[in-house]
C-alpha cells in the first residue's frame, strides 16, 4: 500500500530522531541544494578536464567552486549509481546491482550465474528527499529516475519526466515523458527540464529546497537539433558527425548549468544555494573518448567509474582543485544531512562520509577504503571488447592503490593510480599489497553480505 506524502514526511521525521538537529556550524540558514546529475557524462567530457569541446558554464562553476578530480560513481552503469546516490547506501543494502538483467549475453558464454538484481528501489528505502523532509525541505526530482514508476513514491514533492525508463526515445520534442508538457517540436529535452527546474526554484521562495535535476543527456540516443549540429560542424569541422552531435548534447547540459547559475545569482540576498554537478558513471565508449582513463561505462576501470564532480556556492571558497581525496556519490547523502542540520538516521547504514569540511574548509578526508561490487555481466562491442564489457568483478581503492578481482578467472589486477591509464598491472611486482587489498576486499564483502555469482 502506498503511503501519502504527508504520512511519509511524518515517518521520516520519526526515523530521523524526532527531526532533531545537529549543532549549527554557523549562524547562516541551511542552504538549498541543486544536484545536477548528467547521464553517462565522462570524466573527460568537460573542457576543464580535457575535452575536445567547450563547456564554459561548467568550467565557470569549477573556477568559482571546488573541482574534485577523484570523484567516483558507486557503480559502472546507471541504476546502481542512482540507487546509491538517492539512498546513501551501498549496493548490498538496496539490492540494485546493475541495470537488469544481470545475466546479459548468451548463457553458454557465461561461466558463472550472477545473483538477481532488483530493478527498482523498494518503497521502504529512505531517500535523500525523505531525509531532508523532516528539516523543512521541499524537494523536486526533474528528469531521469530509472528507479521505479514515480519519485513521489520515494518522498519527492514534485516529479517531472521520471519513471522506470533508462533513456528517452528522443532528446527532441515530442518526448512523451510523464508530467512533462510537450513543447514545440524540436525543443531540446535538457532545455525543457531546466525550464521546470527554474520554475520550482521560484516557487520555493524562502523555503529551503532540494532540487535534483537529472538530465537524460548525454545518454543515447545522441540526438540534437539540426541547428545545433550545423553549429558544431562549423566549430569542430574535423570531428565526425557522431562526435559533433555528442558535443552538441554536452552543450545542452552546459547551457542548463549556465541558466541555473544565473537563476541562483538573481536570487540576490535570499536563501543561500549550493550547486553540485556530477554524473552517474563514466562515458560510453564509441561516443566519447575517456582518455587518459582506461575503459568506459560498464567497467570498474577508471573510465567507467571516475566522474566529474564540482561544488559551487557562497559557503564554498572558489578556485580550488582537489586532486587528493577520493570521493563517491554515497558521500553526498551525509553531506546533505550535515548542511541541512538533520541528524543522521541511526537505522541506516550510510556508506559515505560528509564532504562539508572538505568542500568548505579544504580539510582532507581521513584515509579510507572505497569499494565497488558488480557481480553481473555486460555484453561488449565485439571489435572493442570481445564478448563482454565486463564479467563479474569487485574492486577496492586505498590511497593511490586499486585492486580489481574478476570472479570468472580469479585474476587480480593491482594498479597505482599515478598510472591513471591503468596500463601496468603491479600484482606480481607488489604481491604483499595485492594480498593486503584482496583480504580487505574479501572482509568487506563478507561483512556487507554482498551477493556473489555462483557456479552453474
Res. 15: pLDDT tops 90: no
Residue 158's SS3 state is strand
Higher-pLDDT residue of 123 and 383 is 123
Q: Residue 380: name the closest of 453, 304, 329 by CA.
A: 304
- pLDDT reported for residue 380: 81
Average pLDDT, the chain: 92
CA-based R_g, the chain, Å:
21
Higher-pLDDT residue of 282 and 54 is 282
Which domains, from first to last, does the chain contain? 5-19+28-366 (3.40.720.10)
pTM over 0.85: yes
- pLDDT reported for residue 231: 95
End-to-end CA distance of the chain: 37
- pLDDT reported for residue 383: 67
- 278: β partners: 37, 309
- Per-residue pLDDT tens digits for 339-352: 999 998 788 899 99
- pLDDT reported for residue 450: 97
- Per-residue pLDDT tens digits for 47-66: 999 998 889 999 999 999 99
Q: Give the pLDDT band (50/70/90) at residue 235.
A: very high
Q: Give the pLDDT band (50/70/90) at residue 208.
A: very high
Which stretch of DSSP H or E encloses residue 214?
A: strand 209-214
HSE value, Cβ hemisphere, 13 Å, CA-based, for 126: 25
- Per-residue pLDDT tens digits for 362-374: 999 999 999 999 9
Amino acid at each position: 500500500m502506498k503511503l501519502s506524502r504527508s504520512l511519509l514526511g511524518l515517518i521520516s521525521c520519526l526515523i530521523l530522531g524526532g527531526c532533531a538537529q545537529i549543532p549549527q556550524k554557523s549562524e547562516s540558514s541551511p542552504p538549498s541544494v541543486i544536484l545536477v546529475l548528467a547521464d553517462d557524462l565522462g570524466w573527460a567530457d568537460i573542457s576543464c578536464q580535457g575535452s575536445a569541446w567547450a563547456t564554459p558554464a561548467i568550467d565557470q562553476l569549477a573556477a568559482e567552486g571546488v573541482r574534485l578530480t577523484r570523484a567516483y560513481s558507486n557503480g559502472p552503469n546507471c541504476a546502481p549509481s542512482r540507487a546509491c546516490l538517492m539512498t546513501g547506501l551501498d549496493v548490498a543494502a538496496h539490492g540494485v546491482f546493475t541495470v537488469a538483467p544481470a545475466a546479459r549475453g548468451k548463457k553458454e558464454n557465461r561461466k558463472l550465474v550472477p545473483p538477481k538484481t532488483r530493478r527498482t528501489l523498494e518503497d521502504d528505502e529512505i531517500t535523500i528527499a525523505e531525509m531532508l523532509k523532516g528539516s523543512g525541505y521541499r524537494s523536486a526530482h526533474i528528469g531521469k529516475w530509472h528507479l521505479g514508476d514515480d519519485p513521489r513514491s520515494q518522498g519527492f514533492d514534485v516529479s517531472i519526466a521520471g519513471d522506470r525508463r533508462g533513456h528517452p526515445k528522443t532528446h527532441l520534442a515530442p518526448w512523451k515523458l510523464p508530467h512533462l508538457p510537450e513543447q514545440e517540436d524540436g525543443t531540446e529535452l535538457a532545455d525543457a527540464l531546466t525550464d521546470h527546474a527554474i520554475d520550482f526554484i521560484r516557487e520555493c521562495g524562502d523555503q529551503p529546497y532540494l532540487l535534483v535535476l537529472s538530465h537524460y543527456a548525454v545518454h543515447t540516443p545522441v540526438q540534437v537539433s539540426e541547428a545545433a549540429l550545423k553549429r558544431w560542424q562549423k566549430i569542430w569541422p574535423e570531428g565526425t558527425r557522431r562526435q559533433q552531435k555528442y558535443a552538441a548534447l554536452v552543450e545542452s547540459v552546459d547551457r542548463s548549468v549556465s541558466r541555473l547559475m544565473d537563476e541562483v545569482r538573481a536570487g540576490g540576498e535570499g536563501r543561500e544555494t549550493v550547486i553540485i554537478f556530477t554524473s552517474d558513471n563514466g562515458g560510453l565508449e564509441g561516443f566519447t573518448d575517456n582518455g587518459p582513463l582506461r575503459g568506459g561505462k560498464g567497467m570498474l576501470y577508471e573510465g567507467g567509474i571516475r566522474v566529474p564532480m564540482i561544488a559551487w556556492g557562497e559557503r564554498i571558497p572558489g578556485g580550488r582543485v582537489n586532486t587528493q581525496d577520493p570521493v563517491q556519490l554515497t558521500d553526498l547523502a551525509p553531506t546533505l544531512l550535515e548542511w541541512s542540520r538533520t541528524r543522521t538516521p541511526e537505522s541506516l547504514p550510510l556508506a559515505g562520509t560528509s564532504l562539508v569540511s572538505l568542500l568548505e574548509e579544504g580539510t582532507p578526508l581521513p584515509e579510507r577504503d572505497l569499494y565497488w561490487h558488480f557481480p553481473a555481466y555486460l555484453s561488449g562491442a565485439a571489435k572493442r571488447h570481445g564478448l563482454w564489457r565486463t564479467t563479474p568483478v569487485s574492486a577496492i581503492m586505498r590511497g593511490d592503490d586499486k585492486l580489481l578481482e574478476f570472479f570468472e578467472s580469479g585474476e587480480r589486477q593491482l594498479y597505482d593510480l599515478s598510472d591513471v591509464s591503468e596500463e601496468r598491472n603491479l600484482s606480481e611486482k607488489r604481491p604483499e599489497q595485492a594480498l593486503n587489498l584482496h583480504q580487505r576486499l574479501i572482509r568487506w564483502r563478507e561483512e556487507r553480505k554482498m551477493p556473489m555469482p555462483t557456479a552453474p
